[in-house]
Structure 1
Amino acid sequence: MLSVSEISTIEASGDFCVATDAKGKRHTISINLGTIHQQLHPKKFFKINRSEIISIDYIDNIESHFKNRLLLKMVGVKDKVMTSTSSTSEFRKWLEK
């Protein structure tokens, strides 16, 4: 069982998703990303691109990237994740709330 409060990122992977917790453990979820996104609290989770949702509680670092994108280092996740060009503006507003 994975508590929502422990989720760092959720990534789409075919017909299912993979949630990564703060300790780096990966958990398979047999629900699509759109359905998961609708069920998560909008003040805690943000869909940064077509295939990834992140938790505000586990953002470790934010770096500017080209073409109005941001690179995010998430707790428990080895690789950085990137906002899409179209979501960056809304993401910045979401962070300020």
Structure 2
Amino acid sequence: MKTGVKRALVLELFDKQGGRCCYCDRPMVILPRGRDQNRPDAATLEHLITGRRKGWTKRHNMAAACRECNNMRGSAMDWCTFKTYRMGEFWEFISGCKDL
């Protein structure tokens, strides 16, 4: 994906999500190109379905995520499970299963 197209998509998704990460729901920042892009709260493009699982770089498969979540998720966990983990709901679910 070309840099200009990628940046436009990040801005579109950032606005659509109210400037919040799709996983942890914390506020993100949009930074000028080349400036401190490694900040944990920098907005990045995230593939919801990863390339390893036939995920494509199409608008319907993309979301804006903070760099911290984007780096943390990797490709081992599907996006929905990772979101429940980041929101603290995963452990609630596990502890609820123990009570059954």
Q: The TM-score by the shorter chain falls in which range?
A: under 0.3
Structure possessing the higher radius of gyration over alpha carbons:
2
Compare relative contact order (CA 8 Å, sep 6+) and give the higher one, 1 or 2: 2
Return the TM-score normalized by structure 2: 0.26
Answer 1 or 2: which has greater helix percent: 2
